[in-house]
Structures are given as C-alpha cells and as structure tokens.
Amino acid sequence: MEGSLPLRVVQLTKTFSGSSDFITVLQGIEYSFSRQKTYAITGASGSGKSTFIHILGGLDQPTTGTVMLGNVSVSSLTAQERALKIGLVFQYPYLIKEISVLENIMITAIIAGDSWSDAQRKALELLKRVGLAAMGSWEVGRLSGGQKQRVALARALITKPEFLLADELTGSLDHETGLEVMELVLSCVKEWQMGLIISTHNPEIARMMQLVFSLKDGILIATES
C-alpha cells in the first residue's frame, strides 16, 4: 500500500554558516520512521531538534543527504503534495488574525487542491473533532492558547496527512492543557493511522510516544522509554 511507506532519512547532515564560522548541527542521521509508530525527539536546547523537524517536513534543506517519503524526496514535493502528505505544528500556532478560525483550518485543504466548499466541510468536521465546534466564526484573538493549538492541529490534520510532525507542540502551554492537546493528537493519529514525530523537552510527553530518541552531537540516539 503506497500510504504505508516510511519517512526515511538518509545520511542527513546540516551545517549552518555564520559570518565567520560554520556550525554542524546534524552529523549524518540515518533512520526510517514508520507510519505505524509514534516518536519523540528529545535533546538539550540547541541540539538540533527544530532543525531536524524542519528538514523532515521539507521546510529547510539538508546540507547533504535526503529525506524520502516513500520513493519521493521531500524536498522535491510541491506545496500541494506536501499539504497532502505532511502535517506540521509548532510551539506557536501561527494563525492568521485577519481570517476566521474556520478559514484558518481550511487553508491547508485549499493548498492541497480542495474546492472552497469541500475545504469548508472538512474544516467543520475537524473543528468538531478538536472540540471547538461552536467557534468556527470566531476571530482568532478570542481563543485561549490551548484552543489556538487545537486550531493549528486541525489545520495540520485536515488533509489526513501520512505524517504529523510536531516541534514542541506543548512548549508554551500549561501542564494540564499540554497533556489534553497530546491526548487529542494521539487519538487523531491512531484514528487516521498517521506517523507522529514530536520534539519535546518534557519527559512526560516523550514517554507517551512508542519510541524515544535523543539528539546529541548531531546524532539520533535511541533511549529507553
């Protein structure tokens, strides 16, 4: 089945160049992420978690190596293909203030090629799924931090992507709200059979994943969970 193909990282390195020096953040990562599993990426601040997630999602290019989604290089995906296959969420929701909650969720479906009415129908479903059914017409500014993350999650999930990549999704939420958002993420991931890769500083959230890795010295190390 085409949909079960892994997200495969092949000899990935990433070096940033400053004005007078270079910093190599990723030193040759080799791994295959399965759609049937959930993964945590932990590691000290500056260890490269965000860099890694961004490259996995095609938001940044590796210096050497490739990220393959099935047989296709992630960096060669069009915006439309990426919207269909990879969902992304971050520490901050990055919602657009000028449009409604519902329209924020619709954006990914529109990029993926849906008509306005299909995108609207799917966004309403997702809004319900994340527990915000009554808030579609609201301005984004009226939402709490946890509600905004639910909207960002709905926006990432509206195309039922193959993988959901989450960079510190709960990093700016209080403990309880963070756990609620994680429960929601895990139930959606299970329901739609997506692979999940989440970076986190929080050991409790890391332990909610089936496999836990630590990024250290640019290498991905499996840790006991």
Ligand X SMILES: Nc1ncnc2c1ncn2[C@@H]1O[C@H](COP(=O)(O)OP(=O)(O)OP(=O)(O)O)[C@@H](O)[C@H]1O
Contacting positions for ligand X (CB under 6 A)? 16, 23, 25, 43, 45-51
Q: Which of 181, 215, 180, 185 is nearest to 201 (CA)?
A: 215
Residue closer to Mg ion (CB basis): 49 or 150: 49
Q: Which stretch binds Mg ion (CB under 5 A): 10-18, 48-56, 62-70, 113-121?
A: 48-56
Residue closer to ligand X (CB basis): 47 or 108: 47
- Which one of Mg ion, ligand X, none is in contact with 170 (Cβ closer than 5 to 8 A by kind)? none
Q: Is 50 in the site for Mg ion (CB under 5 A)?
A: yes
Residue closer to ligand X (CB basis): 65 or 131: 65
Residue closer to Mg ion (CB basis): 109 or 212: 212
Q: Is 202 in the site for Mg ion (CB under 5 A)?
A: no
Name the minimum Å distance from CB 190 to Mg ion.
Answer: 26
Name the minimum Å distance from CB 60 to Mg ion.
Answer: 12
Contacts of 102 (CB under 8 A, 6+ apart): 120, 123, 124, 127, 136, 137
3-state helix, strand, coil split of the chain in percent (to 5) is 40, 30, 35
Burial class, 206, CB count within 10 angstroms (exposed 0-12 / middle 13-18 / buried 19+): buried
Give CA separation, 119 vs 72, 144, 163, 180, in Å. 26, 24, 20, 26
Which positions touch Mg ion (CB under 5 A)? 49-50
